[in-house]
Chain A
């Protein structure tokens, strides 16, 4: 008889169904003007549960309990980020924090020490090495080596530098990494904060490049894989792989 591994769920130990329903309703409640209001309300709901407030981001908030971080989604984008982090965590080890559980509304992750701005600036080269490795297979945003991203990095007790906010890391599809102006290939800039065309030096936001991944395969028009251009037809974003006449 095989010994079955027993898994433990801290979400099920701490969050009742009523509480989860409340947290889910807060995401779409129109009475909250901003995510900051939602953050304050959720802290009020969790006040008797020994959670320590860590902080809030654009779409999620973080609290600490028993040396684990609980990331609670404040809106639909937060739920997407939670699932994305949970799905990407095993394959991105050891460069990112471990995410142990997720049900969309709540994500449980490893607690690491936050890095301050000075330490971040001192560790730029190390971070570039990590991003250089990740950039081969992944498209990412908000983890470049510019000063405002210092709050997205931390280090474990053994000193390993890790990315702690990786809601925007996606496996790369090389076919979409092209410039709309000249069809040239896109490459990361020095800071890994934006993509640039190697020919015409046009800049692209990685998030906008990511939207191209959502284009259906049927809307791809292949002509020549070495060049590519994009256009909008019938309100849909289409990709012309290989250039061609945009007026067709």
Chain B
């Protein structure tokens, strides 16, 4: 424990009565014999008795690790974050040979029945591992105890590599074997063959599919709402043009729609149309007053040009 010269570094404490201020528990000590036995564990065992002894050592060691790290969850966390510096052994397996098949397929895990074994295990097991022939084939998968212990350890990298090797060897074995042709594959093969023979070959299903597509094909072009078009001198979208047309038609009937219902751009176009129409009206009135009833601009222009030319002659 450090001592501080400066008082400000001394902490204040709270006591919630949950053991924070209690000294650490005594460290769990590993038996040297157990460690040496665990280090000698093999991956696979031919002999069932040796496998039983190996499993016992493995289970004892896993219980030690769980105690040391304060529980399965904490051990998993420490393992996941790379804090576990202890030796992690391989899990022993029984070799898949004829003699051992009955134990493997029933997934029997040997457990020594002692006074401390719980009633569940005692009910489930009836072992005499010195006489493996008497082992009952009615064993269920492991003891509840063993299951928890086994599943508390994380997967080692070695296990992962082993699994990958197994998968790889499976595909090596099976990849080169000729595939058994099922009925489906035979049809597909036939179709492929026909396609190769007749380049234009189209199967009946393909033909029916194409016909169905053609029947329900939409030939009319679908209007693009957002397509920009030139409408009476301004660039607006199709949707806005429709709005303006509706407005024009309804105005013809004396119905004036509220401009708030239109989009901004539409409102601007309508406003500019009004201005233009106002402008046009002014120009028309001016022209009418000047031309004394001539409605045609071209004839008025002719008149004006004649007027100008007569005046020029007078000056001369």
**A and B: bona fide binding partners:** yes
Scan B279-301; emit 1 where CB is below 8 A from any A CB, else 0.
00000000000000000000000
The answer to whether A16 touches B2 (Cβ under 8 A) is: yes
The answer to whether B11 touches A101 (Cβ under 8 A) is: yes
A32 on the interface (CB 8 Å rule)?
no
A123 on the interface (CB 8 Å rule)?
no
A109 to B28, CA, bound (A): 26
* Chain B residue total in the interface (Cβ 8 A): 25
Cβ contacts under 8 Å, A67 to chain B? 70, 74
A104 on the interface (CB 8 Å rule)?
yes
A99 to B8, CA, bound (A): 18
Question: For residues 6 through 64 of chain B, which have their beta carbon under 8 Å from a beta carbon of chain A?
Answer: 6, 8-16, 18, 20-23
The answer to whether A100 touches B1 (Cβ under 8 A) is: no
Partner of B14, one of A11, A15, A90: A90
B5 on the interface (CB 8 Å rule)?
yes
A13-B1, A17-B2, A103-B8 given as contacts; is B14 within 8 A of A5 (CB)?
no
Partner of A103, one of B12, B70, B81: B12
A20-B4, A67-B70 given as contacts; is B13 within 8 A of A101 (CB)?
yes
A8-B23, A67-B70, A100-B20 given as contacts; is B2 within 8 A of A15 (CB)?
yes
Scan A1-45; emit 1 where CB is below 8 A from any B CB, else 0.
000011111011101110010000000000000000000000000
The answer to whether B14 touches A12 (Cβ under 8 A) is: no
Cβ contacts under 8 Å, B23 to chain A? 8
A44 to B246, CA, bound (A): 73
A157 to B13, CA, bound (A): 23
Question: For residues 82 through 99 of chain B, which have their beta carbon under 8 Å from a beta carbon of chain A?
Answer: 83
The answer to whether B2 touches A99 (Cβ under 8 A) is: no
A61 on the interface (CB 8 Å rule)?
no
The answer to whether A102 touches B9 (Cβ under 8 A) is: no
A67-B74, A100-B16 given as contacts; is B6 within 8 A of A11 (CB)?
no
Question: For residues 80 through 100 of chain A, which have their beta carbon under 8 Å from a beta carbon of chain B?
Answer: 86, 89-90, 93, 98-100
Cβ contacts under 8 Å, B15 to chain A? 5, 7
Q: Which of A11, A15, A86, A108 has the most CB of B within 10 A?
A: A11
A6-B21, A7-B21, A17-B2 given as contacts; is B11 within 8 A of A103 (CB)?
yes
The answer to whether B70 touches A101 (Cβ under 8 A) is: no
Nearest Cβ distance between residue A99 and chain B, in whole angstroms? 7
Nearest Cβ distance between residue B260 and chain A, in whole angstroms? 26
B82, closest chain A residue (CB): A52
A7 to B1, CA, bound (A): 13
The answer to whether A106 touches B11 (Cβ under 8 A) is: yes
The answer to whether B18 touches A12 (Cβ under 8 A) is: no
Cβ contacts under 8 Å, B20 to chain A? 8, 68, 98, 100
Scan B97-133; emit 1 where CB is below 8 A from any A CB, else 0.
0000000000000000000000000000000000000
Q: A residues bordering B, Cβ < 8 Å? A: 5-9, 11-13, 15-17, 20, 50, 52, 67-68, 86, 89-90, 93, 98-106, 108, 157
With A5-B21, A50-B83, A103-B11 already in contact, 11 other A-B pairs whose C-beta atoms are closer than 8 Å? A5-B15, A7-B15, A17-B2, A20-B4, A67-B74, A98-B16, A98-B20, A100-B14, A101-B12, A103-B9, A108-B11
30 contacts between A and B (CB under 8 A): A8-B13, A8-B20, A8-B21, A9-B13, A12-B2, A12-B4, A12-B10, A13-B1, A16-B2, A17-B5, A20-B4, A20-B9, A50-B83, A52-B83, A67-B74, A68-B20, A90-B14, A90-B16, A93-B16, A98-B20, A99-B14, A100-B13, A100-B14, A100-B16, A100-B20, A101-B12, A102-B11, A103-B8, A103-B12, A104-B8
Q: 7 smallest A-B Cβ distances: which pairs?
A: A103-B11, A8-B21, A101-B11, A11-B11, A17-B4, A101-B13, A100-B20
